[in-house]
Amino acid sequence: MAAEDAVAQLLCVHLGLLDETELPNDAVRDFRDLYRLPLRSFGDKCALMSAAEATGCSAVILDVLLFVSETMAPALFRKQLAALPLSLSQWVHYLVEQCMVTNETVSLSALRGLLDLYAATQRYRELAAMLLSLVFYDRELSRSLKVTDDVLDIAKFYRHRFPVWILDLLFEYVTLSKLQIQTEKEDANTAPEVCTMAANLDKRSRGVGNLQANWRMRYMQLTEKEIVYFKHEEGKLEKSKNPFHDKTGKSNKKGSLALARGMQIEPLDYRGKFSLRPYCVKICDAAGNEELILDTFSPEVQRQWVAAISANVKRLELDPRCRTHVTVRVNRDHFENSSASIRSVTSSQLL
């Protein structure tokens, strides 16, 4: 059977032009049937690839390429691919699919074959893009770094095809990422700063008897070891002219919750029978029993309270000797304040 006839049968099968009953027993249905055909010479395989390219059918092209890639020398195979644009694109797509076995696993043998193909066909832009996509595949550093060492080792074989600064930047990124992960592991045993916060928040109250649970506004204060809530902000009652304020001398303090080791603090999208409160903070004890639910009214305030309470709870879990060495927060505000002070000093000196 000639190469053109084999490709014609493949095309009819993939397009559904023939039923299974109409096909003879020796018909070519997929790439496996190509192995029993007398297409052993280099010319026959080149004719097979050219005929598949002429069909423009990706399924036919892939069947032919799967057969030829196993029966032709790799260097000759890549040389023929360079002259067939459709076949080259289809084979590159196939190798990319083979590289990513799962979302977190890269087949390094398939990756090496893909890089060899890019280099042999002088597709250096795609070669660099493939390397970068694998290095930056996952934004989670711990998962991304599982493959970067192997990827960079393979990339060393093609360093003469890239500008020097590209590989330097990649190696620097990987080194700094590993240093960041190591530093975060060391900082896990370093106590955070003591966080104190105060604000008027809605506190969920448990129902008593036949009364349903309700929400009441309370002035919440977060200290190093507890959360205290008051009916009114300190000093507000004395200054208030509201005739409905209770000024009988009752205690302003309504209760407190002592922070303890193992407490669970998490954001909560509260959905009750009568109200929807998407920006709540839920505080549970170590056993998971609900202790307190606060409504912070906005996502930013919710994030701040969750971070602050979590930091104070973490301090309780550390050895007291570690609490004297706190982790100083360095963020954008820190640098802006520092630069502002530098500018003010410089201006005063100039005056």
Q: Which contiguous run of DSSP H or E holds residue 347?
A: helix 332-350
| pLDDT tens per residue, range 113-154 | 777 777 777 776 777 777 777 777 666 777 777 777 777 777
pLDDT in tens, 291-302: 899 999 999 999
CA-to-CA distance for 242 and 344, rounded, in angstroms?
Answer: 45
Decide if 343 is inside a domain. Answer: no
pLDDT at 257 over 90: yes
Q: Are residues 161 and 20 in the same domain?
A: yes
pLDDT value of position 100: 60
- 115 in Cβ contact with 130 (< 8 Å): yes
Q: What average pLDDT does range 87-95 have in this prediction? A: 81
C-alpha–C-alpha distance, residues 225 and 326, integer Å: 16
- Considering only residues 120 and 182, tell me which one the structure prediction assigns the higher pLDDT: 182
Asked whether 208 and 183 are in contact (CB, 8 A), the reply is no
* Rounded Cα–Cα distance for residues 198 and 226 (Å): 12
Q: What is the pLDDT of residue 8?
A: 84
Give the domain CATH number at 272: 2.30.29.30
Query: 71-107: b or e for each residue (b if 16 or more CB lie within 10 Å)?
Result: ebeeeebbebbeebeebbebbbebbeeebbeeeeebb
Q: Environment class of residue 286 by beta-carbon count within 10 Å: exposed (0-12), middle (13-18) or buried (19+)?
A: exposed
Tell whether 244 is covered by a domain: no
Q: Which helix (H) or strand (E) holds 110?
A: helix 108-120
Which band of pLDDT confidence, cut at 50, 70 and 90, is reported for residue 210? Answer: low
Q: Read off the pLDDT band of 111 (50, 70, 90).
A: low
- Does residue 338 lie within any of the structural domains? no
* CB-based contacts of 253, cutoff 8 Å, min separation 6: 228, 229, 230, 231
Angstrom distance (rounded) from CA 56 to CA 3: 16
Q: With bands split at pLDDT 50, 70 and 90, how would you rate the model's confidence at 92? A: confident
Residue entry with tokens 């349903």: 212
Tokens representing 113?
């074959």
Residue 18 in domain:
yes
Residue 333 lies in a domain: no
Q: Is residue 342 part of a domain?
A: no
Residue 334 resides in a domain: no
**Full DSSP string of 272-302:** -SS-EEEEEEEEE-TT--EEEEEE-SSHHHH
pLDDT more than 90, % of the chain? 19
Q: Answer yes or no: do 100 and 11 share one domain.
A: yes
Q: Is residue 12 located within the same domain as residue 68?
A: yes
Same domain? 218 vs 111: no
Give the lowest-confidence range in 3-12, 240-249, 277-286, 325-334: 325-334
Q: What tokens does 218 get?
A: 């309370």
Q: Domain tally for the chain?
A: 2
- If asked whether residues 155 and 273 sit together in one domain, one would say no
Helix, strand, coil share (%) of the chain residues, nearest 5: 55, 15, 30
Residue 254: name the closest of 227, 230, 234 by CA: 230
CA-based torsion, 287, 288, 290, 291: positive or negative:
positive
pLDDT level of residue 275 (50, 70, 90 thresholds): confident
**Is residue 332's pLDDT more than 50?**
no
Return the beta strands (E) in the chain as ranges: 191-192, 197-205, 214-222, 226-230, 253-258, 264-271, 276-284, 290-295, 326-327
SS3 call for 326 = strand
pTM of the model: 0.43
List the single range of 10-24, 57-71, 162-176 with lowest mean pLDDT.
10-24
**Could you give the CA distance from residue 84 to residue 64 in angstroms, rounded to a whole number?**
13
Domain extent for 73: 3-187
Q: In the structure, what pLDDT confidence band is assigned to residue 227 with cuts at 50, 70 and 90? A: very high
**Same structural domain, 18 and 67:** yes
Are 125 and 265 in the same domain? no
Q: What is the pLDDT of residue 343?
A: 39
